[in-house]
Structure 1
Amino acid sequence: MVKANMPGLRARPQKSGIIYYYFDAGGKPRKEIPLGSDYVLAVRKWAELTQAQASAVQVVDFLQLADRYERDEMPLKAKSTQATQLSDLRHLREFFGKPPAPLDNIRPMHIRGLLDWKKTQPTTANRLKRLFSHMFNKAREWGYTHAENPATGVRGFELAQRGVYITDAVFKAVWEAGGEPLRDTMDLGYLTGQRPGDVLRMTTHDIVEGMLLVDQGKTGARRRIRVEGQLAELLARIEARKAGHKVHCSHLAVNTRGMPLTAAVLRKAFVAARDAAAAANPMLRAEIQAFWFYDLRAKAADDVSDRDGGQAAADLLGHDDVRTTSRHYLRRGKVVGPTR
């Protein structure tokens, strides 16, 4: 007699009186596996098939992982990070999705192949490896695979650290070539030491009790920057300029009509001012052309470090570890004395 606690075991009495047993494997159409007429042997086979079915692991491929990551994880990132990861995910889908690669079959040699595939763009290649590694760790958390992360131990490309320090002369040349919106935004970026996206998000509502409150979009780090000295003068200048516009908004970085300055408009204005400054200052042309707006964060770090030390620079930039600041932002080198 088939017991109630033996799911999938089916008994089929025949006209001859013999009972044949079957394993119900499910599916559409339903599939039944014959187990014979010997009850003891049938139960033994049923147990083997039940165990095999229970231990079968769903094969998950990279495209399935990519779809879930894009749906569940990417919206939690900062907008700028989302844009970068969407672009990188297209490359990863192309590499691991034609045909779809099962996660359990991806090996370190394939990660090396990914890097070599983008060897002419080493920065992009390293970024793709980092994103893949992060996604694979998520796959392990979600139970998609129990395999070791194949990116572990695979070295990316060695990249030269950006060593451009923006001197006061280069800053002044571009600043003078720009209009008021660019000048105000350059000053705001330098004096606060924040990323361009965070600078563009700053509003008057962020000024509380003599502090400019910063909630960094990339890391979530929070900083309170004292409104004093040149920063206080800048904020007063911005408010005076905004008062002359018919349209008023709370953003600190605004265009000539008083509307919030966008990243695209800032980039266009900066490039135009940089080109004009390079043409007007031939002796500084190379240094000016190497200047990008994001270099102001590194300039702020260097200048604060020279004055108050590396920890002060790390505090301003929102780094928990001063080594992060030293490794990625301090470009001038430590000030030392001569032997004699």
Structure 2
Amino acid sequence: MGRRREKNLSLPQHMYQKGNSYYFVSRENGKYKWIPLGNDLAVARLEWAKLENIADVDIESVTFSVAAARFARDVMPEKAAKTQEEYTRQLRKLNAVFGNVPLDAITPQFVRRYLDERGAKVAANREKALLSTVFNHAREWGYTNAANPCAGVKGHRETGRDRYIEDAELLKVISCACRPLKDALELAYYTGQRPSDVRKLKRTDIREGALSIRQNKTKAALRVAIEGPLLDIIIRLTTELPPIEPGAVRTLYLVQDEKGQPLTKSNLHYRFTKARKLAGIPNFQFRDIRAKSATDTEEIAAMGHAQRLLGHKTRSMTEHYVKDRLGYRVAPTPKTLPQPKKRRA
């Protein structure tokens, strides 16, 4: 039988405190093994419960950091890589304010104050949305019975981006682009895909006369018919391969850098910014090409074509891309007004 505790009597069995940190202590082969549990008592209790194989643990005054830690462990891995990156950044901001606050103590007034004092309004809205998501999960996990403090708290008003890139503007940037960027720009326009989806396209995605795409963000599966201008681009990308550095190994990616490797996110951004400045086209973002593709497609194709091309689940999502930038091309009122009768001389 081990010695009776002389301090920290409230801690469970096998859990000890040294300084500001907590440890799980076990004995193996006559030696003690100290496993760090962190310096937050609530988080430490969660880790202790896992090591003791206890499914449910009674945690008093669970802090936001506890729920955030479990959210990061259990929920975030199921999200796309970009979403995980954004959530990680947002959780860092939220933990800096709410981390040590018990969940039951977070009120709508605190959420309102966070929104008002956060400098970036759009970022504040996204962080509020994540706070609400984490809180809902915390309720499901039994960490709190309190109502979601974000309910009824209005975020900052946002104005959607409505920049439409004219043909001449896009062509001017393409003329100032290097070969890899030119390939990426044209693929993005004719497929209507996001930059991340364009960068990952490979020659093996060309199957049965179509370009098979699995979107990173939505996981939507698309098959873009290789015809018209897209056919010319695919022929160029597969037959007129750009030169690469001596000793470099060429990959199967359609858009390759000078080493035969796919463009990274930062490298694509750098090349695009450089070409845009050379072209003298202000307020032009790479993502605007996707919106231009949707708008141009809607102008000449049957209703719903743009929605399918972009992989949107709802018509309203596509409308955000189209009507706010250029407006729909519509026919005039078909009814003919009756003409006034001519008076006799």
* Structure 1 residues 92-171: aligned runs within 5 Å: 92-97=94-99, 100-118=100-118, 120-171=119-170
Give the stretch that moved more between structures: 319-328 or 56-65: 56-65
1:333 matches 2:335: no
Q: State the alpha-carbon separation in 1 of the partners of residues 11 and 103 from structure 2.
A: 27
Of 223, 226, 250, which residue of structure 2 is paired with 1:248? 250
* Structure 1 residues 26-45: aligned runs within 5 Å: none
Deviation digits for residues 140-192 of structure 1 (CA, Å, limit 9, x no counterpart): 22222222211111111111111100110000010000111111000011111
Q: State the alpha-carbon separation in 2 of the partners of residues 200 and 333 from structure 1.
A: 30
Shift of 1:328: 4.5
Q: In structure 2, give the amino acid aligned to 1:237.
A: R
Shift of 1:250: 0.9
Q: State the alpha-carbon separation in 2 of the partners of residues 28 and 257 from structure 1.
A: 58
Shift of 1:103: 1.1
Q: Any conservation in 1 of the 2:322–2:328 contact (CA below 8 Å)?
A: no
Q: State the alpha-carbon separation in 1 of the partners of residues 10 and 286 from structure 2.
A: 60
Q: In structure 1, give the amino acid aligned to 2:329.
A: V
Give the stretch that moved more between structures: 306-315 or 173-182: 306-315
Q: Any conservation in 1 of the 2:180–2:257 contact (CA below 8 Å)?
A: yes
Q: Any conservation in 2 of the 1:310–1:322 contact (CA below 8 Å)?
A: no
Of 298, 302, 313, which residue of structure 1 is paired with 2:295? 302
Structure 2 unmatched ranges of 5 or more: 1-8, 14-55, 337-345
Q: State the alpha-carbon separation in 2 of the partners of residues 29 and 311 from structure 1.
A: 61
- TM-score normalized by the length of structure 1: 0.77
SS at 2:211 equivalent: strand
Q: State the alpha-carbon separation in 1 of the partners of residues 116 and 63 from structure 2.
A: 22
Higher helix share: 1
Q: In structure 2, give the amino acid aligned to 1:207.
A: I
Q: In structure 2, give the amino acid aligned to 1:336.
A: V
* Structure 1 residues 190-269: aligned runs within 5 Å: 190-242=189-241, 244-245=243-244, 247-269=249-271
Change (3 A) 1:62 1:227: same
Q: In structure 2, give the amino acid aligned to 1:66.
A: A
Of 279, 282, 285, which residue of structure 2 is paired with 1:289? 282
Q: In structure 1, give the amino acid aligned to 2:330.
A: V
Q: State the alpha-carbon separation in 1 of the partners of residues 11 and 196 from structure 2.
A: 54
Change (3 A) 1:29 1:274: closer
Q: In structure 1, give the amino acid aligned to 2:320.
A: R
Q: In structure 1, give the amino acid aligned to 2:326.
A: R
Change (3 A) 1:240 1:104: same
Give the stretch that moved more between structures: 291-300 or 82-91: 82-91
SS at 2:262 equivalent: coil
Q: Any conservation in 2 of the 1:310–1:325 contact (CA below 8 Å)?
A: no
Q: In structure 2, give the amino acid aligned to 1:144.
A: Y
Q: In structure 2, give the amino acid aligned to 1:170.
A: E
Deviation digits for residues 52-111 of structure 1 (CA, Å, limit 9, x no counterpart): xx99764321011111112222222211111111111111011102xx111122111111
- Paired residue for 1:88? 90
SS at 1:290 equivalent: coil
Structure 1 unmatched ranges of 5 or more: 1-25, 31-53, 279-287
Change (3 A) 1:239 1:58: same
Q: Any conservation in 2 of the 1:310–1:326 contact (CA below 8 Å)?
A: no
- Paired residue for 1:276? 278
Change (3 A) 1:102 1:238: same
Q: State the alpha-carbon separation in 2 of the partners of residues 214 and 244 from structure 1.
A: 26
Q: Any conservation in 1 of the 2:203–2:238 contact (CA below 8 Å)?
A: no
Change (3 A) 1:55 1:261: closer
Q: Any conservation in 2 of the 1:242–1:258 contact (CA below 8 Å)?
A: no
Deviation digits for residues 276-309 of structure 1 (CA, Å, limit 9, x no counterpart): 000xxxxxxxxx2111111111011101111124
Q: In structure 2, give the amino acid aligned to 1:315.
A: R
Q: State the alpha-carbon separation in 1 of the partners of residues 12 and 179 from structure 2.
A: 73
Q: State the alpha-carbon separation in 1 of the partners of residues 68 and 102 from structure 2.
A: 12
Q: State the alpha-carbon separation in 1 of the partners of residues 302 and 97 from structure 2.
A: 45
SS at 2:213 equivalent: strand
SS at 2:241 equivalent: helix
Shift of 1:332: 0.8
SS at 2:249 equivalent: coil
Q: Any conservation in 2 of the 1:133–1:151 contact (CA below 8 Å)?
A: yes
Q: State the alpha-carbon separation in 2 of the partners of residues 226 and 194 from structure 1.
A: 14
Q: Any conservation in 1 of the 2:176–2:276 contact (CA below 8 Å)?
A: yes
Q: In structure 1, give the amino acid aligned to 2:113.
A: G
Q: In structure 1, give the amino acid aligned to 2:110.
A: H
Change (3 A) 1:338 1:328: closer
Give RMSD over aligned pairs: 2.3
